Amino acid sequence: MQSEPKGQIVAMGGGGFSMEDDNTLLDDFVLSLCPSSSPRVCFVPTAAADAATYIVRFYRAFAEKATPTDLTLFHSGSLERNPPLSSDLTEFVASQDIIYVSGGNTANQLAMWRTHGLDQIFRDAWFGGKIFCGLSAGMICWFRASVTDSFGALDRLDDGLGFIDASACPHYDGEPGRRPAYHQFVSNGLPAGFAADDGAALHFVGTELVEVVTSRLEADAFRVEMTDAGVVETKLPSRFLG
């Protein structure tokens, strides 16, 4: 295994095809990171329990821009390209260019991935240079810790994949309770990290944040950390994609 990861992560606070029907800027940005003219984009809707309607929306959004595939684990509503569980998931993931992770229940998603070994498969693929992206649950799963509603009320989740050794909070402006909850958790020991509004995405190359991009002029992302003066929120420079 390489000493440093070569892959990329685009962590969206919210947005993309499932939240912005008439705004493709974030999804187009992800596609632009791949040199292929028709990248293989694999949708992983585990957090949404492999909801059939969600998968159909993905195929409709990417059919003319890429070669869409899907990877389902629940065997409910899966489409034609997902491999059965008996197949080599490592080989399947290796054949993709981009892994696009849905929103939904992060805790359930992580449990399923670990059961089937996808946590390690994804880590190896990230080290090897694959591009990973997602919104909400598909944002925070890549971090060590996060703010989640997986358990009902907003709570902290401390067992993320840890590709990025920090915490994360999605929907920072989209849900009123997110900002105060994140500040509270950081003040109580949650690692420092990043918050992203709906329409904002953090672009990491390896473990380095290289850029914040947005699909909405008003969308922002922030660094949130504990200092001697309390929790400090610092707005990060961003680039509007429009």
Residues 6+ apart with CB under 8 A from 131: 7, 8, 9, 10, 30, 33, 34, 97, 98, 99
CATH code assigned at 136: 3.40.50.880
pLDDT (tens digit, 9 = 90+) per residue, 171-210? 999 999 999 999 999 999 999 999 999 999 999 999 999 9
Known catalytic residue: 136? yes
Q: Answer yes or no: is 133 within a domain.
A: yes
Annotated active-site residue in 150, 171, 183, 215: 171
How many domains does the chain fold into? Answer: 1
Task: Give the Å distances, CA to CA, from 139 to 61, 109, 143, 216.
Answer: 19, 12, 8, 18
**What's the domain range around 81?**
8-240
Q: Provide the pLDDT for residue 83.
A: 56
- Indicate whether 18 belongs to any domain: yes
Q: What is the mean pLDDT of residues 7-22?
A: 97
Catalytic one of 18, 78, 102, 136: 136
- Does 183 participate in catalysis according to the annotation? no
Confidence of residue 79 (pLDDT cuts 50, 70, 90): very low
Residue 57 lies in a domain: yes
- CB count within 10 Å of CB 93 equals 20
pLDDT of residue 80: 45
